Amino acid sequence: MSCVPEDLKYTKEHQWVKVDGDLATIGITDHAQSQLGDVVYVELPKVGLVIRKGDVIATIESIKAITEVYSPLTGEVVSSNKDLEEFPKPINDSPYQGGWLAVIRIDNPTELSDLLDADEYCRLIGD
């Protein structure tokens, strides 16, 4: 059994990616949210924004720090989890479900090969 959901892909920067066709839902991992502490504010991308891999896709403010979240893929933002702007607690309570940040339409599917599988990510975080 893996330390993280096995149906997701991961980045070394502690984001998760759920791929469904040409759409990718992006969030931060449980490991990342535990390092941040209680999230108090989140700034999400606007729908329609074209984002390149490595661009800032969200900003998360916690009781410990302000952290920029970088997009693991290139694409257009088709949805963002606006509920988090009013009530960011799901990032801490449910990072893989209710705490998702944004959905992008993938422009360059070859970038998916740069992502880690669950076992690789667990080794990265030493779990």
DSSP H stretches of helix in the chain: 30-36, 83-86, 90-93, 118-125
Q: What's the confidence (pLDDT) of residue 22?
A: 97
Give the predicted TM-score (pTM) of the model: 0.95
In residues, how long is the chain?
127
Alpha-carbon gap, residue 60 to 91, rounded angstroms? 9
List of domains in the chain: 9-108 (2.40.50.100)
DSSP string, 47-74: TT-EE-TTSEEEEEEESS-EEEEE-SS-
Q: In this predicted model, what pLDDT tens digit does every residue of 31-87 receive, in sequence order?
A: 999 999 999 999 999 999 999 999 999 999 999 899 999 999 999 999 999 999 999
Two structure tokens written together for 74: 């290139």
